[in-house]
């Protein structure tokens, strides 16, 4: 599926969002900084799945 997707542009909004909800991990807004951050994002998501990640930070 291809198309335009809205991106939040509110003050204080981060480059991208990671939310965990009922066993799902939602990643949103990942654009150009996502390539640079992709390994850290993957490690963080893996930690969420394993239950070892610190909530609110990607390291």
Cβ-Cβ contacts under 8 Å for 38 (sequence gap 6 or more): none
Prediction pTM value: 0.59
Distance set, CA 5 to CA 12, 19, 29 (Å) = 20, 18, 9
pLDDT in tens, 1-59: 455 566 666 676 667 788 888 878 888 878 777 788 889 889 988 888 888 776 655 54
**Would you list the domain boundaries of the chain?**
17-50
Q: By three-state DSSP, how is residue 20 classified?
A: strand
CA distance 20 to 32: 22
Q: Which two tokens stand for residue 41?
A: 């994002």
Q: By three-state DSSP, how is residue 25 classified?
A: strand
């Amino acid at each position: 599926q291809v198309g335009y997707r809205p991106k939040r542009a509110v003050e204080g909004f981060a480059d991208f969002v990671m939310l965990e909800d009922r066993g799902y991990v939602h990643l949103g807004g990942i654009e150009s900084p996502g390539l640079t951050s992709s390994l850290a994002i993957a490690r963080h998501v893996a930690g969420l799945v394993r239950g070892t990640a610190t909530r609110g930070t990607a390291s």
